[in-house]
Amino acid sequence: MLDDGAEGGGLRDGVEVALRVRIGPVRLLWVSKLSECRPGKSFRDTQIRGPFAAWSHLHLMEPDGATDCWLEDRVDYAPPFGFLGRWFGGWFVRRKLNRLFDYRHRVTVEAFQRA
């Protein structure tokens, strides 16, 4: 099952999510498969096609009282091109990922504050 993320394919084990990502002037297809889906608690997306040599992202939602929770991301990845990718691009990838997750967490907080 391939889901573009817009039709609410749901957080179910085995769902594949396709995204188009831009890396500089290049647009790539990134396909991840969902697993370990525990609604309201966690899920994992694992790249099956995309820009990384390997990618596994565990999304955790931990309750904090009756109405709050913590969102935690645990990401294991390997940049493409082996040693050369780690040597030349490691800093670049870390910086981009930090900015991406900072943005994502900020947008998530803003969305829930409006609700």
| C-alpha to C-alpha distance for 19 and 9, rounded to whole angstroms | 14
- The larger pLDDT score, comparing residue 23 to residue 19, is at 19
pTM of the model: 0.77
Which distant-in-sequence residues (6+ apart) come within 8 Å of 18 by Cβ? 2, 3, 4, 5, 29, 30, 31
The answer to whether residue 105 scores a pLDDT higher than 60 is: yes
Closest CA to 41 of 74, 63, 9, 57: 63
| C-alpha to C-alpha distance for 18 and 3, rounded to whole angstroms | 6
| C-alpha to C-alpha distance for 42 and 28, rounded to whole angstroms | 27
pLDDT at 100: 85
Q: In what order do the strands lie in the sheet with 54-63?
A: 2-3, 16-23, 26-38, 42-49, 54-63, 69-78
Look over the chain and give the mean of its residue pLDDT values, rounded to a whole number. Answer: 85
Once rounded to an integer, what is the mean pLDDT over residues 23-34?
A: 91
Once rounded to an integer, what is the mean pLDDT over residues 83-112?
A: 83
Model pLDDT for residues 39-94, shown as the tens digit of each residue: 889 999 999 999 899 999 999 988 888 888 888 899 999 988 888 877 777 788 88
| C-alpha to C-alpha distance for 107 and 101, rounded to whole angstroms | 10
- The larger pLDDT score, comparing residue 34 to residue 101, is at 34
pLDDT at 115: 62
